[in-house]
Amino acid sequence: MNSEKIWLVTGASTGLGLVLVKTLLGQGHKVAATSRDGDALLDAVGAKLEGQFLPLTVDLANDRNVRRAVDATVAAFGRVDVVVNNARAACPGSLAELSDAQVRAAFDINVFGTLNVIRAVLPRMRAQAGGHIINVSSILGFDGGHAEWGAYSAAKFAVCGLTEALAAEAAAWGVRVSLVYPGAMRAGSPQDGGGSPERAARGAHAQEGGDVAKAAQALIQAAHAQYAPLHLFLGRDAFDQARGKIQSVQQELARWREMSVSIGFVDERRLAA
């Protein structure tokens, strides 16, 4: 494994982001990581690691703030090889009752924060003819059938759509793109992902969640794979839920095929012949 890769991880003070940063540093990678509170991030990581770790205080919804963070990363380490857009904002509640401000706040971080990072790093990756952008969505961004999580699902579905388009755009520049759908992570401290929307949505079944340390290692493996996955589901629950959604859509496609294809224009000349 190449210990000289430069990683930039957002949302790194808790959960998957924090575990990923600690794992990367332990493997000898150089890491820049963002949080709303850089001091809290440094405390959470628990190591100075001068020359290897760069904690950054960043408001991802602020485009200029994000660009300064990317500039600081390049100034410190010379380049950016792998970006993990992991920051998220949960938004529980009924769609009929959530305020406009609550929903917009969720989109500011989950969607526009991700876009801000992409816009800041992509020109640099294009110039260096390589890089890897990993956008962390959620299984709730693939299967939205969970009451009280509609706004969060909508934001994570948006991350999926923009990531698929980004993959099509960036391939010509040698930039790889991956879309990650984590399920519920194993119960534990907040740093272990114990309070995630994915766990909350699963309710009584949440105790079957995955190991956040293994999830972090899976992201590192994906970044070093010869052929990086575009779609990566993390956790047995996420895998099974995705397969169930696909099967359900396939069944409806078959059931309603005649109506779906019936709206096409009919060539009256061919019918007359």
| CA dihedral angle for residue 196, residue 202, residue 205, residue 209, rounded to 10 degrees | -40
For residue 53, which amino acid is it? Answer: F
Q: Please confirm, yes or no, whether 196 is among the known catalytic residues.
A: no
Phi-psi region of 27 (alpha: psi -120 to 50; beta: other; left: phi over 0): alpha
Please identify which of the residues 5, 13, 30, 181 carries the catalytic annotation: 13
Cα–Cα separations (whole angstroms), residue 187 to 22, 193, 195, 203, 213: 19, 7, 8, 12, 12
Please identify which of the residues 152, 178, 181, 196 carries the catalytic annotation: 152
Cα of first residue to Cα of last residue in the chain, in angstroms, is 67
The two three-digit tokens of residue 181, written as one number: 């759908």
Phi, psi (rounded to 5 degrees) for 34: -115, 150
Q: Please confirm, yes or no, whether 262 is among the known catalytic residues.
A: no
Coil/strand/helix, residue 174:
coil
Please identify which of the residues 137, 138, 153, 196 carries the catalytic annotation: 137
Coil/strand/helix, residue 182:
strand
What are the helix (H) ranges across 128-235? 150-170, 197-202, 212-224
Rounded Cα–Cα distance for residues 174 and 256 (Å): 40
Rounded Cα–Cα distance for residues 144 and 13 (Å): 27
Q: Please confirm, yes or no, whether 137 is among the known catalytic residues.
A: yes
Please identify which of the residues 156, 178, 181, 196 carries the catalytic annotation: 156
The two three-digit tokens of residue 217, written as one number: 């290692």
Question: What is the DSSP-derived secondary structure letter of residue 196?
Answer: -
Measured CA angle at 261 (ends 260, 263), to 5 deg = 90
Q: Please confirm, yes or no, whether 248 is among the known catalytic residues.
A: no
Catalytic residue positions, numbered:
13, 137, 152, 156
